[in-house]
C-alpha cells in the first residue's frame, strides 16, 4: 500500500509522483508565508496523497480577498467624495459592490447561504472601517452590515458634490 510519502508497505521505494507533490506542497507553504496569512486562502486541487494511479493534474489556486485597503486615502470627514470613489473602485474590483448597494441580499439566518454571506459582509465592512481615520471609526463600527456603514457614511459626509465634476473644473 502506498502511504502519503510514497513508501510501499514500509519499504524505501519512493513514488516520483508523490515526491513531486511533496515538493509542490513545500513550495506552496513557502509562498504562503510571504502572503498575508489572514487574507490568503489556499486551495489545493488534486494534491491529496492517496492518488497514485492515472494522470493527475495538480495546480494551486491562491485567492486573496485583498483585505488590505490601500491606505492612500483614509476618510477624515472632509474628503468623502475622494474616499468614496477610491473605496467604490476597490470594492467593485473585487466583485463585492452588491454588499454596499444592497443588491446582494442578506439571506435568512437558517439558510445554507447565510454563513458565506456573513463572512463576505464582514470582509467588506472591514474594508470600509479600516479605511477610516481612527477618530471616525467609532461612529460606524457598531453598524451590522457593510451597506449600513456605506449609507451612514454617505448621510454624514456627502455634501452633494461630485468629485469627477470638481476635478474637471480644476483641470479646465
Give the CA dihedral 152, 153, 156, 162, nearest 10 degrees: -120
Tens of pLDDT, residues 114-149: 999 999 999 999 999 999 999 999 999 999 999 999
- Provide the 8-state DSSP code for 82: H
Report in angstroms the alpha-carbon separations of 139 from 18, 30, 129, 152: 54, 40, 10, 9
10 Å CB burial of residue 87 (0-12, 13-18, 19+) is buried
pLDDT for 161 equals: 73
Dihedral angle at the C-alpha atoms of 84, 85, 86, 89, nearest 10 degrees? 120
Q: Using one digit for the tens of pLDDT, what is the confidence trace for 3-13?
A: 444 444 444 45
Containing H/E element for 42? Answer: strand 40-45
- CA torsion sign for 96, 99, 105, 106 is positive
Is residue 67's pLDDT more than 80?
A: no
Phi–psi pair at 90, nearest 5 degrees: -60, -50
**Is the full-model pTM beyond 0.95?**
no
Amino acid at each position: 500500500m502506498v502511504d502519503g510519502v510514497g513508501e510501499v508497505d514500509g519499504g524505501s521505494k519512493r513514488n516520483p509522483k508523490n515526491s513531486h507533490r511533496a515538493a509542490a506542497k513545500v513550495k506552496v507553504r513557502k509562498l504562503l508565508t510571504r502572503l498575508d496569512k489572514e487574507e490568503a486562502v489556499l486551495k489545493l486541487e488534486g494534491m491529496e496523497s492517496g492518488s497514485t494511479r492515472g494522470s493527475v493534474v495538480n495546480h494551486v489556486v491562491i485567492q486573496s480577498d485583498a483585505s488590505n485597503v490601500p491606505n492612500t486615502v483614509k476618510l477624515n470627514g472632509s474628503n468623502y467624495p475622494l474616499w468614496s470613489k477610491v473605496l467604490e473602485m476597490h470594492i467593485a474590483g473585487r466583485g463585492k459592490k452588491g454588499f454596499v448597494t444592497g443588491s446582494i441580499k442578506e439571506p435568512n439566518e437558517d439558510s445554507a447561504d447565510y454563513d458565506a454571506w456573513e463572512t463576505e459582509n464582514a470582509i467588506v465592512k472591514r474594508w470600509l472601517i479600516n479605511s477610516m481615520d481612527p477618530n471616525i471609526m467609532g461612529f460606524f463600527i457598531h453598524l451590522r452590515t457593510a451597506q449600513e456603514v456605506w449609507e451612514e457614511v454617505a448621510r454624514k459626509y456627502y455634501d452633494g458634490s461630485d468629485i469627477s465634476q470638481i476635478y474637471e473644473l480644476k483641470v479646465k
